[in-house]
Structure 1
Amino acid sequence: MAQERHDDFMTVAEVAAIMRVSKMTVYRLVHSGELPAVRVGRSFRVPAHAVDEYLRQSYMGTA
């Protein structure tokens, strides 16, 4: 049986470093629904593909 691959998840701090913004900015994006995330205990995890897609859309939107 083939094993299904799950998305890699990143912490808010990792997302902030990649996007070069503050952690608070990432939290705002998560709470507004602009950046999907799952809650794990008291913290959030953001799917890597969601960060890639958000950055792609942001980049394309400014062109």
Structure 2
Amino acid sequence: MLTVEETSKRLSISRTRVFGLINAGQLISVKIGRSTRIPTKCIEEFIDRLISDPQMLARF
């Protein structure tokens, strides 16, 4: 599982954008105590959806 910071670096987006994707339900996260973690598999699935759905890529 990756932190929000690690996820933002992997996707080349801001931390705020990562939280926005989480809040929009486009990226799944898990709370561990006060920390938000994103499973690596969920990041890969998000990227796959971006690739397969041109409209989603345009919104991203």
Please indicate the TM-score interval, normalised by the length of the shorter structure. Answer: 0.7 to 0.9
Instruction: Kindly report the root-mean-square deviation, in angstroms, between the aligned alpha carbons of the 2 structures.
Output: 1.4
Residue segments in structure 2 that go unaligned for 5+ positions in a row: 56-60
RCO comparison, higher one (Cα < 8 Å, 6+): 1
The residue correspondences of 1:34-53 to structure 2 (distance < 5 A) are 34-53=26-45
Q: Check if 1:30 corresponds to 2:22.
A: yes
User: Which whole-Å deviations, capped at 9, do the CAs of 1:39-61 have from their partners, x for residues lacking one?
Assistant: 11222100000000101110111
Larger Rg: 1
Query: In the TM superposition, what is the alpha-carbon distance from 1:24 to its structure 2 partner?
Result: 0.4
Residue segments in structure 1 that go unaligned for 5+ positions in a row: 1-8
Q: Check if 1:13 corresponds to 2:12.
A: no
Identity fraction in percent: 27
User: How many correspondences in the alignment?
Assistant: 55
Which has the larger helix fraction?
A: 2
Q: Check if 1:58 corresponds to 2:53.
A: no
